[in-house]
Chains A and B, each alone.
Chain A
């Protein structure tokens, strides 16, 4: 089977637009979380989010997208950066395009017509062409990428909630490894920073309402953690066979070498309290990569900042890495970006590349007192240098979908 190289990476995130800005912010422990500006959240108990605040340069043809559904714009920009940075010409029959996302956008304001919710009126406006389209299907982003870069051999849209980005990359990895495709452009994109998205998650009690903490409100594994913070953005990688990438003189940012995918089959909203699904996901990734647990040098945790998730994940890590977990540095990117839902796994692969390619593990900056049950070898406050070989990244989704990826430092092709 072929080794699989990451030769391109593009990112749109609350901490920065583009790979270098993203890495600089993470390295410095700079938060992208702040008060929601996208809509009037003054009466919501949750008023914080990790918003993408930079202006996106989409060009005239696609500029309407950012207005209609920001996450589609994020996906396009991240794909563009990934494809350009890899130096590939575009997509063809030997390419796979696989993007993950979670939920169609729903504009609540458009559902009100003449002072009342009036579906017939909205439908009529839409049918007559006077109103906006009533839906924007989740494959819109993939279609735009195809329009700009050509038709791939297969185009997929994954909707595995918080595991979607990691699953898309893992699926791309498996296909390139097996020789089904020579190029995989894959990742995740999402934004739930709209009234229904924030309101829906607020109702579920998943988000912190500790608004006074501002940029430090998302506190994975900390004793004072009180819920996650929604973020938005996209990240996309380009995967190619390692030998071909080396022969073509591409910059190799790292390798993907293992995927684990499991289901909790326990609850829609809460992780299995035993951490069974999470542990099996990590173990499956290790098996796929042919590695023993002791080979892992760093873990980028799912680390959402919710009471239950962090404790369950920490326990699962301790179980899988029994005997060695105290030596494996762990960080949590969501502390600075917030939870990017379907984009989270892909964005966090970008954080792993910072460790593998940039030689730095970014901090979990607001971790002051490790919460009970969250004991791990945390990297808190400041970035630490890293020269390890293997990194594991966890993504555990609403509904009980789990995905773990293992990445490897590029060793020059030895």
Chain B
């Protein structure tokens, strides 16, 4: 996990237990605008290259991709997935938040594509703009890239679903992962999500569309968990955090949202169901019940084992 409360699962659990709340940060790109609340939850410092053990894929990654890759890597290492399962038997199920292109990647392209009247020109884009653009831009903005990066880094080659952009979609990914393990379609499922709701464009959209009220804090973070059959985990002697007793989804139409993490971590939208599930595996008494922007309620009953 990488959350506003900690850069690892252990740090997040410890901060949660200690009653820590997210630190607020101002988003510089929105300073001076009339946005009433342009703050987002601060993420703790983390070095993705160090956490992943390589810089090789970083150039392809948006911020949310980095969050997702680091979280997934932590989960895979923790459960020793690579040494225990054939890559073809490892499924990947993911939620993805709103697209968040890095402004730095687009600015050079735009600067070269403005005509004498001060307007964007397709002619100049083709003539000059593309030549100075980051050729890897598409990889940073295509919605499926963060989970695909995870598949490459972690060697997951099995069945997969990627859903976007809200809480209910990640909930569906969790449900699909559980069913895939339960039915034997996969031996092991890597499932989770990443979100960067503090990205300036995302924050503007969320506020404007009234999906994030002025008194709510935009969050960011990621969480991935490993699901596998309990018998296999016990046989292999790996640590089991929790047993899944049930998972379900349904529509529940009512005003607002239900997200037990939001008050302390900010609203992490697509990442929230994964963060809640991961946290609830280690924190007794934390109910996995969440209903977000798309009004799909997700509920999981977990038996905590340690």
A161 contacts the other chain (CB 8 A)? yes
- Given the known interface contacts A133-B209, A160-B162, the answer about A269 and B120 at a Cβ–Cβ threshold of 8 Å is no
- Given the known interface contacts A43-B127, A156-B169, A280-B157, the answer about A266 and B141 at a Cβ–Cβ threshold of 8 Å is no
Contacts of A177-219 to chain B: CB distance below 8 A: 195, 199-204
B15 contacts the other chain (CB 8 A)? no
Pick the contact of B133: A167, A203, A284 (CB < 8 A): A203
User: B131's closest neighbor in chain A, by CB?
Assistant: A203
What separation, in Å, do the CA atoms of A195 and B109 have in the docked complex?
11
**Minimum Cβ distance to chain A for residue B254 (Å):** 14
What separation, in Å, do the CA atoms of A262 and B159 have in the docked complex?
5
Pick the contact of A104: B99, B155, B169, B204 (CB < 8 A): B99
> Does the CB pair A203–B145 fall under 8 Å?
no
**Minimum Cβ distance to chain A for residue B32 (Å):** 6
List the B side residues contacting A133 at CB < 8 Å: 205, 208-209
What separation, in Å, do the CA atoms of A165 and B200 have in the docked complex?
30
B42 contacts the other chain (CB 8 A)? no
What separation, in Å, do the CA atoms of A360 and B156 have in the docked complex?
38
What separation, in Å, do the CA atoms of A203 and B166 have in the docked complex?
30
B161 contacts the other chain (CB 8 A)? yes
> Does the CB pair B142–A109 fall under 8 Å?
no
> Does the CB pair A127–B160 fall under 8 Å?
no
**Minimum Cβ distance to chain A for residue B180 (Å):** 10
Q: Report how many residues on chain A are interfacial, defined by Cβ distance under 8 Å.
A: 71
B126 contacts the other chain (CB 8 A)? yes
**Minimum Cβ distance to chain A for residue B291 (Å):** 14
> Does the CB pair B157–A262 fall under 8 Å?
yes
List the A side residues contacting B149 at CB < 8 Å: 268, 399
**Minimum Cβ distance to chain A for residue B77 (Å):** 17
Offer 11 A-B interface pairs, CB within 8 angstroms, sorted by A: A104-B99, A104-B141, A109-B120, A126-B208, A133-B209, A154-B172, A157-B165, A159-B96, A263-B156, A280-B157, A401-B160
Q: Hey, which bits of chain A sit against chain B, CB under 8 A?
A: 39-45, 93, 102-104, 106, 108-109, 111-112, 114-117, 119-120, 123-124, 126-129, 133-135, 137-139, 151, 153-161, 164, 167, 171, 195, 199-204, 261-269, 277, 280, 284, 397-401
Q: Hey, which bits of chain B sit against chain A, CB under 8 A?
A: 29-30, 32-35, 60, 87-88, 92, 96, 98-99, 101, 103, 106-107, 109-111, 113-114, 118-120, 122-127, 129-130, 133, 135, 137-139, 141-145, 147-149, 151-152, 154-166, 168-169, 172, 200-202, 204-205, 207-209, 249-251, 294, 296
A-B pairs, top 7 by smallest CB distance, nearest first, are A115-B118, A43-B126, A399-B148, A159-B143, A117-B110, A44-B126, A200-B138
